[in-house]
Amino acid sequence: KRFRSLSESAPDIIYTIDREGGFTYVNPAWERILGHPAKDVLGRYFIDYVRKEEIPVYRELFRLIRTEGKTVRDVMGTILHQDGSDRIFSISGAPNLDAEGQFIGVVGTFKDVTALHLSKAELKQSYQRLQTALDSTIQALSMIVESRDPYTSGHQQRVAKLAVTIAEEMGLPEESRAAIRMAATLHDIGKISVPAEILCKPTQLNEIEMGMIQLHPETGRGILESIAFPYPVARIVFQHHERMDGSGYPMGLRGDEILLEAKILSVADAVEAMATHRPYRASLGREKALQELYDQRGVLYDIAVADTCLRLFNE
């Protein structure tokens, strides 16, 4: 009587099945959750209420309980509602023994987690939509910057590809690789404030013009700080022209004062810039670019990052 009182008021399905897998008891929660009248379930088999392709999974669970005496807990599975739809459950079961300790079936519970599962799926879809929108926005901003400087069209995309590859080779986690990809794709966004005639000037820049160019990391940080990135994108962009010996700009940071992600971006940016054409000079070529990287490793560029980049090209 005590068991029946507890069982009939329980929010989860409580069941017992016999040695062959037929139901000998289900509490009223079965009808409330799955729609089938409880009296119609008795004598039928567990596999009558699951999809055919999942039957082998449940047979294996039953075998573990019956032949090995194991208790299974919180196994995710689906049971069919009376209307034919799936309901997702956390399934538990344990051996049901008689007074002599002989196996007579299984006793257990089905906890309905359908709503929780759907909420997680919807949350994941929502996140994916937001991620797609963010990626599209980043690409649009990148195209705006590069449209003002046809000589460096595609530069940010190529830098992003190289920087992410270096990060992968170094074993950086997904969060760091995502931050590098976003920052690299937008690292020159601050040049939107530089007059186009300076960006496209076919001769060496004078001191004033170079000073305007060197403001672009700070301008970029100012633009990107207004966007709620999940990663320190603005800081990486702000530091991508800093150098290990403190000779970079705008802050003259040294060594460990520079984010690792910014060190990776600075190497990718420098190699790509040296290996491609600029308005004021022809391409130095890949070999010279890599030689310059090798010569300046530990001086301008982080040794581990530089060596990884060199290995990627050489191997």
d(CA 313, CA 286): 9
Measured at the CA of 44, the angle between CA 43 and CA 48, to 5 degrees, comes to 170
Portion of the chain with pLDDT greater than 90, in percent: 56
Neighbours of 78 (CB within 10 A): 17
Cα 79 from chain centroid (whole Å): 31
Whether residue 11 has pLDDT greater than 80? yes
Does the predicted model carry a pTM greater than 0.75?
A: no
Whether residue 240 has pLDDT greater than 90? yes
Rg, C-alpha atoms of the chain: 32
273-307 per-position pLDDT tens digit: 888 766 666 667 889 999 999 999 999 999 999 99
Whether residue 23 has pLDDT greater than 70? yes
119-164 per-position pLDDT tens digit: 888 888 888 888 888 888 888 888 887 777 766 678 889 999 999 9
Which run of H or of E encompasses 248? none
Greater model confidence, 21 or 306: 306
Peptide bond into 150 cis (omega under 30): no
Mean pLDDT of the chain: 90
Q: What pLDDT sits at residue 140?
A: 85
Give, to the nearest 10 degrees, the angle between helix 114-147 and helix 174-185: 30
188-217 per-position pLDDT tens digit: 999 888 888 888 787 888 899 889 989 999
CA-CA-CA-CA dihedral for 46, 49, 53, 55, to nearest 10: 0
d(CA 29, CA 15): 10
Greater model confidence, 315 or 244: 244
d(CA 65, CA 98): 15
User: What's the sign of the alpha-carbon dihedral 203, 207, 209, 215?
Assistant: positive
Neighbours of 18 (CB within 10 A): 15
Neighbours of 137 (CB within 10 A): 12
3 falls in which pLDDT band (50, 70, 90)? confident
Q: What pLDDT sits at residue 1?
A: 83
Which residue, among 236, 241, 237, 265, has the nearest Cα to 253 in the 3D structure? 241
245-283 per-position pLDDT tens digit: 999 999 999 999 999 999 999 999 999 988 876 666 666
